[in-house]
A and B are shown apart, each in its own frame.
Chain A
Amino acid sequence: MSVTFKKITPEESWKVYDGAARRLLRISGEEFSRRWDAGEYKHSAETTVMQVAMLRPDGVQLAR
Chain B
Amino acid sequence: MASNSRDKAVKGFSTTIQRALSCFATGKVFGDTYDLGVIGRLSLNGAKKVQLRGPGRLRISLSILYEVLQVGDPLRPEFDVSTRGYMHHLYSSAGDELIGYHWHPIDNSHATWPHLHVTGGKNHYPSGRILVEDVLQLAMEYGATPTDPKAWRRVSKANRERFASEATWHSYVPSD
State which of A23, A55, A57, A63 has its C-beta within 8 Å of the C-beta of B112. Answer: A63
Residue of A nearest to B44 (CB): A3
Query: In the complex, how many angstroms separate the beta carbon of A14 from the nearest chain B beta carbon?
Result: 9
- Contact check, A20 vs B47: say whether CB atoms are below 8 A apart: yes
State which of B15, B84, B87, B108 has its C-beta within 8 Å of the C-beta of A36. Answer: B108
* Chain B residues whose C-beta falls within 8 Å of the C-beta of A43 in the assembled complex: 110
Query: In the complex, how many angstroms separate the beta carbon of B36 from the nearest chain A beta carbon?
Result: 15
Q: Which of A1-58 contact B (CB under 8 A)?
A: 1-10, 12-13, 15-16, 19-20, 23, 36, 39, 41-45, 47, 50-51, 53-55, 57
Report how many A-B pairs have Cβ atoms within 8 Å: 125
Taking the complex as formed, is B25 at the interface, i.e. its CB lies under 8 A from any CB of chain A?
yes
Query: In the complex, how many angstroms separate the beta carbon of B23 from the nearest chain A beta carbon?
Result: 7
What is the interface of chain B mostly: helix, strand, loop, or mixed?
A: mixed
Taking the complex as formed, is B14 at the interface, i.e. its CB lies under 8 A from any CB of chain A?
yes
Residue of A nearest to B64 (CB): A54
When chains A and B are docked, how far (Å) is the Cα of A5 from the Cα of B21?
12
- Knowing A3-B44, A60-B107, the reply to whether A12 touches B26 (Cβ < 8 A) is no
Taking the complex as formed, is B3 at the interface, i.e. its CB lies under 8 A from any CB of chain A?
no
- Knowing A54-B87, A63-B112, A64-B175, the reply to whether A3 touches B18 (Cβ < 8 A) is yes
* Chain B residues whose C-beta falls within 8 Å of the C-beta of A15 in the assembled complex: 46
Query: In the complex, how many angstroms separate the beta carbon of B32 from the nearest chain A beta carbon?
Result: 4
Query: In the complex, how many angstroms separate the beta carbon of B166 from the nearest chain A beta carbon?
Result: 19
B residues at A contact (CB < 8 Å): 7, 10-11, 14-15, 17-18, 21-32, 34, 39, 41, 43-44, 46-48, 53, 61, 63, 65, 84-87, 89, 97, 100, 102, 104-112, 117, 120, 122, 124, 147, 175
A residues at B contact (CB < 8 Å): 1-10, 12-13, 15-16, 19-20, 23, 36, 39, 41-45, 47, 50-51, 53-55, 57, 60-64
